[in-house]
Chain A
Amino acid sequence: MSLIHETDYGTPLSKSEKMVTLTIDGQSITVPEGTSIMRAAMEAGTQIPKLCATDMVDAFGSCRLCLVEVEGRAGTPASCTTPVAAGLVVHTQTERLKKLRKGVMELYISDHPLDCLTCAANGDCELQDMAGAVGLRDVRYGNQGENHVFADACGEANPAWLPKDESNPYFTYDPSKCIVCSRCVRACEEVQGTFALTISGRGFDSRVSPGMSESFLGSECVSCGACVQACPTATLTEKSVIEIGQPEHSAVTTCAYCGVGCAFKAEMRGEEVVRMVPYKDGKANRGHSCVKGRFAYGYATHKERILKPMIRETIDQPWREVSYDEAFNFAAQKLRGIQAKHGRDSIGGITSSRCTNEETYLVQKLIRAGFGNNNVDTCARVCHSPTGYGLATTFGTSAGTQDFDSVEDSDVIMVIGANPTDAHPVFGSRMKKRLRQGAKLIVVDPRKIDLVKSAHIKADYHLPLLPGTNVAILTALAHVIVTEGLVNETFVRERCDWSEFQDWAEFVALEKNSPEAIAGISGVDPEAIRGAARLYAKGGNGAIYYGLGVTEHSQGSTTVIAIANLAMATGNIGRRGVGVNPLRGQNNVQGSCDMGSFPHELPGYRHISGDAVRDQFEAMWNVKLNPEPGLRIPNMFDSAIEGTFKGLYVQGEDILQSDPNTTHVVQALSSMECVIVQDLFLNETANYAHVFLPGSTFLEKDGTFTNAERRIQRVRKVMSPLNGMADWEVTIGLAKAMGFEMKYNHPSEIMDEIAALTPTFTGVSYQKLEEMGSVQWPCNEKFPEGSPIMHVDGFVRGKGKFVVTEYVATDERTGPRFPLLLTTGRILSQYNVGAQTRRTENVVWHGEDVLEIHPHDAEQRGIRDGDWVRLTSRAGETTLHALISERVAPGVVYTTFHHPLTQANVITTDYSDWATNCPEYKVTAVQVSQSNGPSDWQKAYDEQARNSRRIAPVVEAAE
Chain B
Amino acid sequence: MSHNPSERLVYMANQIGKFFQSQGQEKEVAGVAEHIKKFWDPRMLKTIYAHHDAGGAGLDPAVKEAIGKLKDAAVAKEKA
Contact = CB atoms under 8 A, between A and B. Distances in A.
Interface residues of B, number: 21
A629 B41 contact: yes
Interface stretch (A630-638, A710-718, A791-799): A630-638
Interface stretch (B14-22, B53-61, B64-72): B14-22
B46 to A, nearest CB: 10
Contacts of B39: 600, 629, 632, 915-916
B18 A628 contact: no
Contacts, number: 63
Interface string B29-42: 00000010011111
B73 interface: no
A638 B18 CA distance: 22
Interface string A629-649: 111100100110110100000
A642 B12 contact: no
A326 interface: no
A579 interface: no
B23 A664 contact: no
B12 A917 contact: yes
A804 B41 contact: no
B3 interface: yes
Interface string B1-20: 10101001000100110110
Nearest to A875: B1
Contact of A635 (B3, B15, B18, B44): B44
Contact of A600 (B5, B18, B23, B38): B38
A914 B42 contact: no
A609 B39 CA distance: 11
A236 interface: no
A696 interface: no
B79 interface: no
Contact of B38 (A607, A804, A806): A607
Interface residues on A, range: 35 or more
A803 B15 CA distance: 17
Contact of B5 (A374, A554, A629, A642): A642
Given A607-B38, A641-B3, A915-B16, A804 B43 contact: no
Nearest to B40: A629
B31 to A, nearest CB: 10
Interface in A530-576: 554, 557-558
A609 B44 CA distance: 17
A599 B21 CA distance: 26
Interface in A871-913: 909-911
A914 B16 CA distance: 5
A503 interface: yes
Given A599-B41, A635-B41, A638-B8, A804 B15 contact: no
Given A806-B22, A917-B12, A911 B41 contact: no
Given A600-B38, A629-B38, A914-B16, A644 B43 contact: yes
A361 to B, nearest CB: 21
Given A503-B24, A607-B38, A806-B22, A639 B15 contact: no
Interface of B: 1, 3, 5, 8, 12, 15-16, 18-19, 21-24, 35, 38-44
Interface of A: 345, 374-375, 503, 507, 554, 557-558, 599-600, 607, 609, 628-632, 635, 638-639, 641-642, 644, 664, 803-806, 808, 811, 909-911, 914-917
Given A558-B19, A811-B1, 13 more contacts: A503-B24, A600-B39, A631-B43, A635-B40, A804-B23, A804-B24, A805-B22, A806-B18, A910-B1, A914-B18, A914-B19, A915-B16, A915-B19
10 contacts: A507-B22, A609-B38, A628-B41, A628-B42, A629-B38, A629-B40, A631-B41, A632-B39, A808-B18, A914-B12
